[in-house]
């Protein structure tokens, strides 16, 4: 801490300093999310002060009751003693088919709708499977910034990846940039999240079309991570069977996997259940390499009966009933899931305003020429500080976030703030702390 000279920080300066030094972290800005969580927990415990916790993307609201009740009922019926089908219980598969039709306007066969242990497992299974298809195509291309754990998965699997920050390549500019990677011939798959973690940019239809067209041209599989399904609150994607629909690359190409998480859209993170939806074309696609290795050439068959079987032999039984009941209620128009989570957008609007009023800038601020949405995350910077420095400085002010550095972003000045754990009654604290921060850091 060279630049922070003032010690009247909202959180006891010496405690923070000692805790950072005890943590052994050489650079707090480069800490993983879980390391930051631990550091902030310790400071909170020692000082008794509550932080504005913006480092971790956990849902901040209760799960829908319809899911909880369905799980209880399933447990009472004894599902805990039975192995679930690896490809999912039939009623859930049917509701996923309907959900995909109702909210994406895409047709899929029920075989292609598979529950996974969170989208985390869906992604891991996809990477593993795709790596076995073609030896010459051995690399996943990440359109960054992105969710760091997916790169960790690639690393754990000893696979290859390339990545670029999309910040300077929005709209038509994306075409040439993507093509510069795909034309080399080594890219097997493209992954991005939409809405994006961490920046909350949302790809426009023009951009999704470009991704789809180039995937077709270069025979590349698209893994579209919809972890924040329908959470671009600028549009109302919540009415079953009616436009507008959640935008998707599935409209523009036919070899795709969708990772639809229930963690944020249904506040169901603890049950670790997500949906892996595979296009019918890819599900039925045959590969000689798979035939040679597994005795069956089909992509869909192998991802279920070889990959998911090996990973966890299916997804825990009762959450499948919980998700089934929630999707059924949503598909029948009895439960509007977006109404429950809109609160994140309302919070973001106020919190962004507080940051901007106190000298911060929004880093990823636009989708082509439209201002970005208010949602689960936003990104900010402060003049004269790098993102890593900013993370460390903010800790003295009782605010925790993560640096964009660990997300593949080139905007090294930025940090990601998650709104989910900050309630309305903390806004005045946030405002006070940001004011103090600005007072202490303003360039004279």
Q: How far is the CB of 58 from ligand PLP (least distance, A)?
A: 8
Q: Is the separation of the CB atoms in 225 and 202 below 8 Å?
A: no
Question: Is residue 63 involved in binding ligand PLP (CB under 6 A)?
Answer: no
Give the distance, in angstroms, between the CA of residue 272 and the centroid of all CA atoms in the same chain: 14
Question: Is residue 230 involved in binding ligand PLP (CB under 6 A)?
Answer: no
Q: How far is the CB of 306 from ligand PLP (least distance, A)?
A: 21
Q: Of 104, 120, 390, 391, which lies in the binding site for ligand PLP, with binding defined by CB under 6 A? A: 120
Give the distance, in angstroms, between the CA of residue 244 and the centroid of all CA atoms in the same chain: 22
Cβ count within 10 A of residue 135: 8
Question: Is residue 263 involved in binding ligand PLP (CB under 6 A)?
Answer: yes
- Up-side HSE of residue 192: CA atoms within 13 Å toward CB? 25
Q: How far is the CB of 26 from ligand PLP (least distance, A)?
A: 26
Question: Is residue 261 involved in binding ligand PLP (CB under 6 A)?
Answer: yes
Short-list 93, 85, 131, 133, CA closest to 111: 93
Q: How far is the CB of 19 from ligand PLP (least distance, A)?
A: 26
Q: How far is the CB of 418 from ligand PLP (least distance, A)?
A: 9
* Binding region for ligand PLP (CB under 6 A) out of 41-49, 94-102, 113-121, 310-318: 113-121
Closer residue to ligand PLP in complex, CB, 20/120: 120
Question: Is residue 274 involved in binding ligand PLP (CB under 6 A)?
Answer: yes
Where in 175-204 is the site for ligand PLP (CB under 6 A)?
A: 193, 197
Per-residue b or e along 93-118, where b marks 16 or more CB atoms closer than 10 Å to that residue's CB: bbbbbbbbbbbbbbebebbbbbbbbb
* Binding region for ligand PLP (CB under 6 A) out of 30-38, 116-124, 360-368, 420-428: 116-124
Give dist(CA 97, CA 110) in Å, integer: 6
Cβ count within 10 A of residue 146: 23
Where in 138-157 is the site for ligand PLP (CB under 6 A)?
A: 147
Where in 277-336 is the site for ligand PLP (CB under 6 A)?
A: none
Please list, in sequence order, all residues whose beta carbon lies within 8 angstroms of the beta carbon of residue 238, skipping any fewer than 6 positions away: 230, 336, 337, 338, 339
Question: Is residue 269 involved in binding ligand PLP (CB under 6 A)?
Answer: yes
Which backbone phi and psi does 113 adopt, to 5 degrees?
-110, 110
Q: How far is the CB of 271 from ligand PLP (least distance, A)?
A: 9
Give dist(CA 402, CA 177) in Å, integer: 27
Count of residues interacting with ligand PLP (CB under 6 A)? 13
Could you list the residues that contact ligand PLP (CB under 6 A)?
57, 118-120, 147, 193, 197, 225, 227, 261, 263, 269, 274
């Amino acid at each position: 801490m060279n630049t922070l000279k003032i010690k009247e920080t909202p959180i006891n300066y010496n405690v923070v300093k000692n805790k950072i030094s005890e943590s052994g972290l050489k650079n707090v800005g480069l800490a993983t999310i879980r390391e930051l969580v631990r550091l902030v927990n310790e400071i909170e415990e020692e000082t008794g002060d509550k932080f504005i916790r913006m480092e971790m993307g956990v849902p901040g609201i209760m799960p829908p009751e319809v899911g909880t009740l369905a799980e209880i009922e399933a447990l009472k019926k004894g599902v805990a003693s039975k192995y679930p089908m690896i490809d999912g219980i039939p009623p859930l598969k049917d509701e996923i088919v309907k959900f995909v039709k109702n909210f994406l306007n895409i047709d899929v066969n029920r075989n292609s709708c598979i529950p996974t242990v969170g989208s985390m497992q869906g992604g891991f299974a996809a990477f593993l499977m795709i790596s076995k298809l073609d030896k010459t195509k051995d690399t996943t291309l990440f359109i960054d910034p992105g969710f760091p754990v997916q790169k960790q998965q690639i690393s754990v699997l000893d696979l290859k990846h390339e990545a670029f920050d999309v910040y300077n390549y929005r709209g038509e500019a994306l075409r040439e940039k993507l093509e510069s990677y795909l034309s080399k011939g080594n890219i097997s798959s493209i992954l991005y999240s939409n809405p994006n973690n961490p920046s909350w940019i949302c790809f426009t239809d023009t951009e999704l079309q470009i991704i789809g067209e180039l995937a077709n041209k270069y025979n590349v599989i698209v893994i579209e991570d919809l972890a924040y399904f329908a959470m671009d609150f600028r549009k109302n994607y919540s009415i079953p069977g009616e436009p507008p629909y959640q935008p998707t690359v599935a409209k523009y190409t036919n070899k795709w996997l969708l990772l639809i998480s229930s963690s944020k859209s249904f506040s169901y993170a603890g049950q670790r259940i997500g949906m892996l939806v595979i296009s019918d074309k890819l599900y039925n696609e045959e590969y000689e390499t798979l035939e040679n290795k597994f005795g069956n050439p089909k992509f869909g068959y192998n991802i279920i009966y070889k990959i998911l079987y090996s990973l966890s032999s299916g997804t825990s039984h009762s959450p499948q009933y919980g998700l089934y009941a929630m999707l059924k209620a949503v598909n029948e128009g009895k439960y509007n899931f977006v109404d429950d989570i809109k609160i994140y957008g309302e919070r973001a609007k106020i919190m962004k305003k507080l940051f901007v009023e106190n000298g911060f800038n929004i880093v990823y601020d636009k989708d082509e020429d439209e201002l970005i949405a208010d949602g689960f995350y936003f990104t900010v910077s402060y003049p004269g500080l790098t993102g890593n420095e900013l993370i460390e400085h903010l800790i003295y002010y009782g605010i925790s976030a993560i640096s964009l550095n660990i997300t593949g972003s080139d905007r090294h000045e930025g940090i990601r703030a998650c709104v989910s754990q900050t309630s309305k009654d903390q806004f005045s604290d946030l405002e006070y702390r940001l004011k103090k921060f600005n007072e202490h850091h303003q360039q004279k």
